[in-house]
Chain A
Amino acid sequence: MGVVNLENPILRVTGVSKYFGKLKALDNVSVEIPRGAVTLLIGPNGSGKTTLVNVISGALMPDSGTVEFEGRDITRLPPHERFKLGIVRSYQIPRLFPGLSVLENVLIGRDGNPGEGMVSGILKGRWEEYETRATEDALAKLKFLGLLGVAEKKTSELSGGQLKLLEMARSTMSLKPKLILLDEPTAGVVPSLAHEMLALVKKMSVELGITFLVVEHRLDIAANYADYAYALHLGSVVARGRPKEVMSDPKLVEIYIGD
């Protein structure tokens, strides 16, 4: 386990509340995401995990509270601006582009392509090299995740587990990611591959210094690869600390086993 430094968190969520009508999805939630570490976000269904990810990625605006990224208030920043700061996310229910091939879906994860213009698009000399490198990276990721064989298929031909892997591949394509939000990346994936995926997450975090916030249900697998954990229940943080400590926290045990 790496040393978790909470002194200078990369992301600080302070007092965030979010209501859906009368439903309190997040109730005065404050979390700090330690820099360069893998942080788990756990909790039963409906505890507000995905809502928190949505608030951090900009998909939802909180009703109150602030989100600070590297000391900058990003509470009202639109999603594409947050991506430019280095915040990337994946989706719990895969949201892929159905009209694009598997490889094209992954390539969308790499922004800054000089060929993405109505004029520069026709000047192949300007973007061929960038595109080649991006394609090589994408193919390497697809190979690692066992998707190379379906690279040129449409996403409609993939299984649910393969779609999750594709989400993972796409969300790790960014050139300078700082914070990657993975929403249940291993749901529907066979355990052996789930281990490999989380090991890759850990490796990217250690070697590239990328911070991960991973929403997980499979605590048994995930705890081995994480440095820190938050547990949510009914929109509030009920426990925080090292993953093993949080998992054995009596409150959490009661939430999962009780009722």
Chain B
Amino acid sequence: MVELSALMIELGNIITFVMVVLALNLMAGFAGIPNFGMAVFVYTGAFVVGALSVRFALLLLAVLDPATLEALLNKPSYKPYVGDMSLVEIILFKTMEPTINRTLIPELSSIISQNLVLALSVLIFTFVVAVFLGVVVGVISSYAAVRLKEDYLAIALLAFSEMMVQVFFAQTDSLAGGRYAIYAPNMWPSELSSVAAALPLGVKPELTLGLILAIGLAALTYLYAERIANSPMGRALRAMRDDEFVLSTYGRDIAAMRLRVMMIGGALAALAGVIYAMNFQPVVKATDYTRLAWTFVPWAMMIIGGMANNLGVVLGAVAIYVGRKALEFALPELFDALKAVGLVTEAAAVDVIRAVAPNIFVGVLILLMLYLRPKGLVEEMPGRTLGDKLRELKEKFSR
């Protein structure tokens, strides 16, 4: 029997992908910007949770409750790492040290949960800063998006993302742990946790709260994306994707449009990174935010679901995620069965196949879809800017 909390985490992962794919669909499906750098946008959110919110919480604690901060950081076991650094220096440069981080975060988490002001401040800080940094990364990416043609742009964004996440952040231990895991702090005040704890679910109340927040944010993201799709902006974005030059001869500033959509898409993807790291994958490590997991899989979800169709890409996200998970669960049993009849003898081969099978599944699915249903599960539709009013207008003119 699968535990409820495990199911809730899987649901949270699906919701994270739904948000990432909706953001990607705005940028690539609608606006035609081949964003192969999605990983850096998602990591930006996780980075804020793991690296910035901790420092913010500690700095705020220095103001609200200096004695507690002193007790928290002035530990003999930290001495070999921090020497005689000041508290602020420790906060800025040493909190991501694996040995310190491992003991600091659980203690900080319980302090945050007991302090309503601190908890709410950290929550707000995390979301505001993640949105801001998502916008900044979007602006940086659009700098290339304005100047490069599609193929070059795809490679440039892929390289940018890899360079930032897998090289810069993964190699800079003091910023966000580098190759070492750092932990996401709890940001929920006990006032809220105790409400969630009253629910007869038998899971950690923080997980319940996180899931509720994730569902709310994903729903808002979907509503936003649908509104845009059915607005004059959605139409202009699709026109830009089809032929940006012709659109420019109709008075649209392509550079400005790309900038705006990258800012919004970047902010949404960073928000997805926040809810993921905060609730469902609280061990933040730059090297986990790979191009496979956070760029190619979302692209596959979008292509299979149907580009420029929000419902389609959501279905694609759910289908791919569930399919991959099902394979991960089903394969060991299948191999046990094969072993039992003597068809498989090499244990190592089993591990290799288990690791690559979900990706082979995605690859085969993309090929099949492109062959059989190139427009995806749900195909692109004209924007319904006026809804049913259009039919009335058409009838008026048909007479």
Counting contact residues on chain B (CB < 8 A from A), the size range is 35 or more
Interface residue B388 (Cβ < 8 Å from any Cβ of A): no
Among B90-98, B228-236, B295-303, B360-368, the one that faces the other chain is B228-236
CB-nearest residue of chain B relative to A95? B246
- Tell me if B249 and A118 are in contact (CB < 8 A): no
Q: Which residues of B contact A100 (CB under 8 A)?
A: 235, 238-239, 242, 382
Given contacts A122-B227, A132-B393, contact A97 B246 (CB under 8 A): yes
> Smallest CB-CB separation from A149: which chain B residue?
B398
Q: Report whether A151 and B394 are in contact in the complex, using a CB–CB cutoff of 8 Å.
A: yes
CB <8 Å contact, A122 and B393: no
Report the Cα distance A108→B257, complex, angstroms.
14
Is A128 in contact with chain B by the CB < 8 A criterion? yes
User: Whose C-beta in chain B lies nearest to the C-beta of A155?
Assistant: B242
Known A104-B383, A132-B389, A136-B393; contact A117-B260, beta-carbon cutoff 8 A? yes
Cβ of B233: which chain A residues have Cβ within 8 Å of it?
115-118, 120-121
Residues of A within 8 A of B249 (CB): 57-59, 79-80, 82-83, 88-89
Cα distance A128–B388 in the bound complex, in angstroms: 13
Chain B residues near A101 (CB-CB < 8 A): 382
**Alpha-carbon separation in the docked complex, A88 to B252 (Å):** 12
Q: For A122, what are the chain B residues with a Cβ–Cβ distance below 8 Å? A: 224, 227-228, 231
A210 contacts the other chain (Cβ, under 8 Å)?
Answer: no
- List B contacts of A57 (CB < 8 A): 249
Indicate which residue in A99, A121, A132, A143 contacts B386 across the interface (CB closer than 8 Å).
A132
> Which residues 195-213 in A have Cβ within 8 Å of B in the complex?
none
Using a CB-CB cutoff of 8 Å, which residues 75-121 of chain A contact chain B? Answer: 78-80, 82-84, 88-89, 91, 95-101, 103-104, 107-109, 111-118, 120-121
Cross-interface CB contact of A139 among B228, B308, B382, B393, cutoff 8 Å: B393
B350 on interface, CB distance cutoff 8 Å = no
Can you give 16 contacting A-B residue pairs, CB < 8 Å?
Answer: A59-B249, A89-B249, A95-B246, A96-B243, A100-B242, A104-B238, A115-B231, A115-B385, A118-B261, A121-B231, A121-B233, A121-B234, A124-B227, A127-B231, A131-B386, A152-B382
Q: Is there an interface contact between B386 and A79, defined as CB atoms closer than 8 Å?
A: no
What are the 4 A-B residue pairs with the smallest beta carbon separation, nearest first?
A121-B233, A83-B251, A121-B231, A115-B232
Say if the beta carbon of B250 comes within 8 Å of chain A.
yes
Within 8 A of A (CB), among B252-266: 252-254, 260-261, 263-264
Q: What's the Cα separation between A170 and B238 when bound, in Å?
A: 16
B394 and A139 within 8 A (CB): yes
* Cross-chain contact A111 with B239 (CB below 8 angstroms): no
Counting chain A CB atoms within 10 Å of each CB, the highest count among B232, B253, B380, B389 belongs to B232
Q: Are A140 and B397 within 8 A (Cβ)?
A: yes
Specify which chain A residues have a CB less than 8 angstroms from the CB of B245 in the assembled complex: 59, 79
| Contacts A80-B251, A122-B228, A143-B397 supplied; 4 other A-B pairs, CB < 8 Å | A100-B382, A115-B232, A124-B231, A139-B393
> Given the complex of chains A and B, what is the CA–CA distance between A215 and B239 in angstroms?
26
Point out the residues of chain A lying under 8 angstroms from B235, CB to CB. 100, 104, 107-108
Knowing A80-B254, A108-B235, A148-B397, say if A135 contacts B386 (CB, 8 Å).
yes
> B397, A139: Cβ atoms under 8 Å?
yes
Q: Is B99 an interface residue (CB 8 A)?
A: no
Q: Is the CB of B393 within 8 A of A108?
A: no
| Bound Cα distance from A118 to B225, whole angstroms | 10
One digit per residue, 1 when the CB lies within 8 angstroms of any chain A CB and 0 when it does not, for chain B 202-233 equals 00000000000000000000001001100111
Which residues of chain A are near B250, meaning CB under 8 Å? 80, 83, 88, 108-109, 111, 170, 174
A82 CA to B252 CA in the complex, in Å? 11
Would you call B311 an interface residue if the criterion is a C-beta within 8 Å of the partner chain's C-beta atoms?
no
Query: A108 and B231: CB pair below 8 A?
Result: no
1/0 per residue A34-65: CB within 8 Å of B? 00000000000000000000000111000000
Q: A80-B248, A121-B234 are in contact. Are A95 and B243 (CB under 8 A)?
A: yes
Q: Which of B233, B242, B250, B383 counts the most chain A CB atoms within 10 A?
A: B250
Of chain A, the residue at the smallest CB distance from B231 is A121
Which residue of B224, B239, B260, B263 is within 8 Å of A108 (Cβ)? B239
Bound together, the chains give a CA A142 to CA B362 distance in angstroms of 44
CB of B100 closer than 8 Å to a CB of A: no
What chain A residues lie within 8 Å of B394 (beta carbons)? 139, 148, 151
A120 to B393, CA, bound (A): 24
Taken together as a complex, chains A and B put the C-alpha atoms of A97 and B224 apart, in Å, by: 24
Taking a contact as CB atoms under 8 Å apart, the answer to whether B242 and A131 are in contact is no
Please measure, in the bound complex, the distance between the C-alpha atom of A98 and the C-alpha atom of B382, giving whole angstroms: 11
Pick the contact of B228 from A83, A121, A128, A174 — CB < 8 Å?
A: A121
CA of A142 to CA of B232, assembled, Å: 19
In angstroms, Cα B261 to Cα A95, docked, is 24
B241 within 8 A of A: yes
Chain A residues near B385 (CB-CB < 8 A) = 115, 131, 135
Least Cβ–Cβ distance between B312 and chain A, in angstroms? 14
- Provide the residues of chain A in CB contact with B248, threshold 8 Å: 78-80, 83
Q: Give residues of chain B (375-397) contacting chain A, Cβ–Cβ below 8 Å.
A: 380, 382-383, 385-386, 389-390, 393-394, 397
